């Protein structure tokens, strides 16, 4: 990195000369084409690669140049590489089906650091998400690289994607930003191995300080003051309780790899320790990928003070003074200042020396922050060391004059620190307020979402600085941190810095999202804060009942009423004179005269107060208003186009913001950051309002409401379970934080939605206007479509349903290609409609629970207008699995534990319990059994399919009666998987179209172009896959596709002495199953065949029943298990074909690893009836979100076969 020092002036002059004395047309160094100079040209210097001093090259580059050339020449100077800095920590939020952008605090880091780099002539690159090229940080960058979808686990936490971006851009260095991979030792190591400079400390220092357990030991060796605590990792909640009792409450539980308040809880008793440990461990795992926890003594009501340190690679270290960070909520900083009003010079010296001692002891070589807790007696204790640049670093820059980003880059390239400890000054005072998209009236700030309809930063305030990554029109979503801006003010002393911050907050305009400016503004004028008496409990002690707003004095109330009256009259005057739309509130002849009103002003701690106002002598620049007999002279422009009004009322300056003003008398003003909704009415209207009834409030006391949109991570109470007031019902995750939702009162839980499902705001978007059509209408074969689904059974129809539910766009054409002959032979129509949760694969348990919830609420999902839903007839019937040996019994017990963890209600029964509960069973050879207790039963699968298909038709899905005869594809090696050998990457394909042969028309076979293909052909999906080229020929990728049709039978028999209606869905260890079928002593039975029972030569269209199969394979087992079945008579039987995965018996769900636009969903082994709905939703989420949301189905991908990793087979 080139640092502009005096020794570099001559080279800088050369660059400036080239830029200012060049001809009217310049040659671009990337593409060697001529460009006319304009404002978006930039000068660049190359970074040093060898030695300590930089070697200069120069170029003039138009920002919009698209060339990918690696080398070009400007004049006589050769530029050998692109100039290099890429930012891995810059995220842009992504909201599905929205074209807007959003903010993220890592964007601020790019904009801040990017400005430094531009000043020092470096080319900046940034990663971005799919389709979001309009982020502010993306627009500022010279180059942007797409690294994946918005979810961080698929983009900004993907080291491989960042490394690919480094290679593709030719970057020489990477700045990691604040979060994500900024403290990831593996990322730093991989960059070093790839030959790129990691602008941060070395990986060993990151590893040592990033592990809070190890960092405490290192700090002890460095003789840094330590907090008493447990030395080591705490494994589980019970150990946490034991350690906490040894240390003594209160204790702090925090993630070893944590930071930013995540994975951190305080406990005052055993109950809080257990619950807090569980939540913190989950939060740590999701935020950092490391759930290790430590426990230490919690210092009650301390100050949080941190020391900024800098070390180079030559053993030099300095400290750049302290930052006061005590004002926090949920262990996250809200307001910071530098220096601290509590720290004395002697204390500052000791803290700085200990911070540098720790840094040198660990071999640190970049910017770092050592955090301390300080008690009331000025004793300080080591908390942790952050091995990155802090969010609040601008206040240190303000008081020291040191550009921290610039110094980080210098040190990363081997330069020595260019200043000593004695050179570090304290110049004035700086304060930083973190402006969040949060509701300060809810727990001091719960996240808010929305679009910024109006946005203006207070840049006119002297000494102010705004580090933001957004602009008007940006959108805040649930995906990332809700930080809007870091607002910094600098003054000669603390008093001036606070006053400037107060004025800046008054002039900061944010519309469209709730923000925390009211709280920040009130703190700036609060007596305790201004005196410097602050601790980490400041918010809770200053606002014991939570923040409720600002209490207005009587004079401020009257001033608000006067300004509102003036604005209302001005609004009417403008409407009458220019728009001719104002009602005749007053005639034209007396607009300049006086008008009388009644003004209602709201208060936070008392009823609305009413005041009589009289408006006189109104003009564009002044107005006289009499409120309750007191005259107020208002001076200043009442221009509605300006959001901020700088007025003088009786000579005293006031700052207001206009939020809204209408002709109905509603005027909403922002004063001191808080909104006030005033009503300005004439006397008659005001008198009428007194007699209007108050609007009834909705009673939500019986409903657990999430305070913010987010992702449900766990549901802790079951339907029908009794809960007590304050009991945890579920955990919701929003903006990287987990929050526990408590029951508002005691009662019984009555219903729920989807397990781990994201709130679906796409559902019920307006009333359905499309009339219901017949399902079997023959459609003309289209030429092209967006999505082609092969297979019209339950799996294919469910895929179509979820996609169209999500995208209500008529331009998105979706077709389902089905063959009647195949559908008639499939499990969808002929298999028993069973539903149970007793699987060894956890995802199958979750999928079955999902289906049970869907069936319970089928009306809500599938009902069309006022039409009745087809009777799906979901009948509860618990499944009973039996084990005949110790090994099988142990497996049942092990699986029972896993199923319970997934949310299933199952229980183990001993032989004695089986005899007592089910006396009709012969359990002499049975060791144990496992019984489902809830969410299991049978349903009418044909009626379910009919309901889904009819719903799909109203949503615009086209069903086509045709047979698939082939595919066509393009070769594409650009997106080949990285694990694919180079010699095979050229074989990577993309399907272009499917060739179909219509069944009931004379149309010749024809191709259908599609963007995405989904194979849901069930038992015939293997044949369809072969047509697409899977594993058929040496010239193509030989990907095994082991899904084959397997014939199965269902038998109905009558037994007059058989078990009663309480008979469970019986599963024997031999694979034979049996259940009661309604009344009349009828029973249904069958057998799940093993791999050896299959016959590849079978005619797949043959549905003949082999009755000898019943005599040899089923009846002997039934007669042994249920003695009453020795005398039975078969009444009916049929055959059907199941799609069996011969590789490991589990379904293939998700994208193909080589065919980039092909998705597969089959191989359910006959269980598609209960797994098709959630699997189809997973396909939809994988296509539209780029990741699974409801249930993680990654283990079902086809690439498990390529890697030789079999899934656990079910019993």
Q: Show which residues are catalytic.
A: 388
Distances (CA, A) of 689 to 627, 684, 1083: 20, 9, 70
- CA dist 758 and 711 (Å) reads 5
Distances (CA, A) of 723 to 8, 276, 702, 744, 1048: 72, 20, 12, 10, 45
CB half-sphere exposure, 831, CA atoms < 13 A:
28
Question: What is the β-pairing status of strands 475-476 and 380-386?
Answer: unpaired
| Number of neighbours of residue 24 by Cβ within 10 angstroms | 7
- CA dist 1126 and 788 (Å) reads 50
For residue 687, what are the contacts with CB-CB under 8 A and spacing of at least 6?
none
CB 179 within 8 A of CB 200: no
Distances (CA, A) of 104 to 391, 470, 1097, 1125: 12, 8, 59, 67
- CA dist 751 and 1045 (Å) reads 39
For residue 504, what are the contacts with CB-CB under 8 A and spacing of at least 6?
458, 461, 464, 487, 489
Ranges of beta strands (E only) in 437-584 are 438-439, 446-447, 450-451, 454-456, 464-468, 475-476, 483-491, 509-511
- CA dist 703 and 868 (Å) reads 28
Burial 1012-1029 (b: 16+ CB within 10 A, else e): bbbbbbbbbbbbbbebbb
- CA dist 491 and 399 (Å) reads 9
Q: Is 600 helix (H, G, I), strand (E, B) or coil?
A: strand
Find the largest Cα–Cα distance for the chain.
106
Facing residues of 611 across strands?
599
- CA dist 646 and 522 (Å) reads 19
- CA dist 713 and 733 (Å) reads 6
Distances (CA, A) of 110 to 123, 125, 217: 12, 9, 34
**Cα end-to-end distance, the chain, whole Å:** 62
Distances (CA, A) of 100 to 150, 431, 634: 13, 31, 40
Distances (CA, A) of 102 to 515, 757, 940, 1194: 15, 23, 46, 29
Q: At 611, list the tokens.
A: 């005041």
Q: At 1115, list the tokens.
A: 């009846």
Nearest-Å Rg of the Cα atoms of the chain is 35
DSSP 137-193: HHHHSSEEEE---SSGGGTTT-HHHHHHHHHHHT-SEEE--SSTTTT-HHHHHHHHH
DSSP 901-916: HTT--EEEEEHHHHHH
CB half-sphere exposure, 614, CA atoms < 13 A:
8
């Amino acid at each position: 990195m080139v640092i502009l020092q005096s020794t570099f002036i001559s080279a800088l002059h050369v660059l400036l000369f080239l830029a200012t004395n060049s001809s009217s047309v310049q040659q671009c160094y990337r593409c060697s084409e001529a460009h006319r100079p304009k404002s978006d040209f930039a000068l660049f210097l190359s970074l040093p690669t060898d030695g300590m001093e930089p070697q200069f090259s120069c170029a003039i580059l138009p920002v919009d140049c698209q060339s990918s050339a690696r080398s070009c020449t400007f004049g006589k100077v050769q530029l050998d590489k692109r100039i290099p800095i890429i930012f891995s920590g810059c995220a842009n939020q992504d909201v599905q089906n929205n074209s807007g952008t959003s903010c993220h605090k890592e964007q601020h880091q790019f904009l801040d650091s990017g400005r430094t780099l531009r000043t020092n002539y470096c080319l900046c690159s940034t990663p971005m998400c799919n389709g979001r090229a309009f982020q502010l940080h993306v627009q500022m960058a010279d180059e942007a690289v797409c690294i994946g979808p918005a979810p961080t686990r698929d983009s900004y936490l993907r080291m491989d994607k960042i490394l690919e971006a480094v290679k593709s851009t030719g970057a020489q260095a990477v700045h990691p930003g604040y979060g994500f991979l900024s403290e990831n030792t593996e990322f730093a190591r991989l960059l070093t191995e790839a030959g790129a400079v990691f602008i941060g400390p070395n990986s060993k220092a990151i590893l040592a300080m990033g592990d809070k357990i190890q960092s405490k030991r290192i700090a002890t060796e460095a003789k840094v003051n330590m907090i008493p605590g447990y030395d080591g990792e705490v494994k589980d909640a019970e150990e946490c309780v034991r350690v906490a009792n040894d240390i003594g409450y209160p204790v702090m539980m925090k993630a070893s790899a944590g930071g930013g308040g995540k994975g951190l809880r305080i406990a005052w008793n055993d109950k809080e320790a257990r619950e807090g440990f569980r939540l913190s461990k989950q939060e740590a795992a999701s935020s950092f990928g490391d759930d290790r926890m430590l426990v230490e003594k919690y210092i009650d009501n301390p100050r949080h003070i941190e020391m900024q340190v800098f070390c180079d690679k030559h053993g030099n270290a300095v400290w750049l003074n302290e930052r006061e960070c005590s004002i926090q909520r949920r262990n996250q900083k809200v307001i910071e200042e530098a220096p601290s009003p509590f720290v004395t010079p002697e204390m500052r010296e000791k803290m700085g020396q200990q911070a540098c001692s720790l840094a040198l002891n660990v071999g640190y070589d970049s910017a770092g922050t050592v955090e301390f807790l300080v008690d009331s007696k000025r004793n300080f204790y080591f908390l942790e060391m952050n091995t990155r640049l802090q969010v609040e670093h601008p206040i240190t820059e303000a008081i020291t004059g040191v550009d921290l980003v610039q110094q980080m880059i210098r040190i990363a390239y081997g330069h020595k620190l260019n200043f000593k400890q004695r050179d570090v000054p304290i110049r004035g005072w700086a304060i930083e307020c973190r402006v969040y998209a949060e509701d300060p009236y809810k727990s001091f700030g719960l996240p808010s979402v929305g679009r910024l309809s109006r946005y203006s930063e207070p840049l006119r305030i002297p000494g102010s600085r705004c580090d933001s990554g957004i602009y008007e029109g940006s959108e805040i979503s649930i995906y990332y941190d809700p930080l809007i801006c870091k607002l910094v003010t600098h003054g000669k002393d603390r008093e001036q810095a606070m006053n400037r911050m107060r004025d800046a907050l008054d002039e900061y305009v944010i519309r469209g999202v709730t923000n925390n400016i009211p709280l920040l503004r009130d703190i700036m004028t609060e007596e305790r804060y201004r005196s410097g008496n602050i601790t980490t409990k400041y918010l809770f002690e200053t606002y014991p009942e939570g923040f409720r707003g600002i209490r207005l004095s009587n004079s401020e109330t009257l001033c608000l009423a006067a300004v509102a009256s003036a604005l209302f009259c001005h609004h009417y005057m403008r409407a009458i004179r220019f728009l001719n739309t104002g009602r005749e509130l007053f005639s034209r002849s007396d607009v300049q005269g006086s008008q009388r009103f009644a003004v209602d002003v709201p208060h936070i701690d008392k009823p609305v107060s009413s005041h009589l106002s009289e408006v006189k002598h109104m003009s564009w620049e002044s107005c006289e208003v009499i409120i309750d007999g007191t005259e107020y002279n208002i001076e200043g422009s009442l221009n509605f186009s300006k959001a901020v009004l700088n007025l003088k009322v009786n000579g005293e300056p006031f700052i207001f913001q206009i939020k809204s003003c209408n002709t109905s008398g509603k005027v909403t003003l922002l004063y001191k950051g808080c909104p006030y909704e005033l009503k300005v009415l004439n006397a008659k209207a005001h008198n009428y309002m007194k007699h209007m009834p108050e609007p009834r409030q909705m009673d939500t006391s019986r409903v657990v409401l999430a305070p913010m949109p987010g992702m449900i991570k766990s549901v802790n109470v079951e339907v029908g379970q009794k809960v007590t007031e304050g009991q945890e019902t579920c955990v919701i995750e929003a903006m990287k934080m987990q929050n526990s939702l408590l029951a508002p009162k005691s009662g019984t839980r009555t219903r729920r939605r989807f397990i781990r499902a994201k709130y679906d705001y796409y559902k019920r978007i307006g009333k359905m206007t499309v009339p219901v059509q017949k399902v079997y209408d023959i459609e003309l074969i289209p030429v092209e479509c967006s999505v082609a689904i092969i297979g019209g059974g339950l799996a294919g129809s469910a895929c179509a349903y979820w996609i169209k539910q999500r995208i209500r766009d008529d331009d998105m054409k979706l077709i389902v290609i089905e063959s009647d002959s195949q559908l008639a032979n499939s499990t969808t129509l002929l298999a028993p409609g069973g539903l149970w949760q007793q699987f060894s694969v956890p995802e199958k348990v979750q999928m079955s629970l999902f289906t049970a919830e869907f069936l319970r609420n089928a009306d809500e999902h599938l009902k069309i207008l006022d039409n009745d839903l087809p009777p799906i007839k979901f009948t509860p019937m618990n499944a009973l699995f039996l084990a005949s040996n110790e090994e099988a019994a142990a497996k049942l017990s092990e699986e029972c534990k896993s199923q319970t963890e997934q949310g299933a209600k199952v229980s183990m029964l001993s032989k004695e319990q089986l005899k007592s509960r089910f006396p009709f069973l012969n359990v002499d050879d049975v060791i144990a059994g496992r019984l489902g207790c809830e969410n299991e039963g049978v349903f009418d699968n044909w009626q379910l399919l009919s309901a889904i298909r009819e719903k799909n038709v109203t949503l615009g899905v086209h069903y086509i009666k045709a047979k698939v005869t082939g595919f066509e594809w393009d070769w594409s090696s650009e997106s080949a998987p990285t694990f694919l050998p180079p010699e095979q990457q050229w074989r990577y394909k993309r399907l272009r179209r499917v060739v179909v042969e219509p069944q009931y028309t004379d149309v010749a076979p024809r191709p259908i172009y599609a963007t995405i293909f989904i194979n849901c052909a069930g038992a015939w999906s293997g044949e369809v896959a072969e047509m697409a080229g899977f594993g058929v020929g040496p010239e193509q990728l030989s990907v095994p596709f082991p899904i084959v049709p397997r014939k199965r039978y269902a038998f109905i028999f009558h037994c007059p002495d058989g078990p009663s209606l309480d008979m469970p869905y019986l599963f024997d260890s031999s694979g034979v199953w049996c259940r009661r079928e309604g009344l009349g002593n009828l029973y249904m039975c069958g057998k799940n065949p093993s791999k050896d029972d299959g016959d590849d030569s079978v005619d797949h269209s043959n549905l003949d029943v082999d009755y000898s199969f019943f005599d040899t394979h089923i009846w002997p087992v039934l007669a042994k298990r249920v003695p009453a079945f020795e005398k039975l008579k078969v009444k009916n039987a049929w055959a059907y074909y199941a799609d069996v995965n011969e590789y490991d018996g589990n379904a293939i769900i998700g994208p193909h690893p080589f065919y980039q636009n092909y998705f597969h969903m089959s191989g359910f082994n006959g269980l598609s009836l209960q797994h098709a709905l959630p699997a189809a939703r997973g396909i939809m989420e994988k296509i539209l979100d780029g990741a699974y949301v409801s249930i993680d189905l990654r283990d079902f991908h086809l690439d498990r076969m390529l890697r030789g990793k079999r899934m656990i087979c079910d019993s």
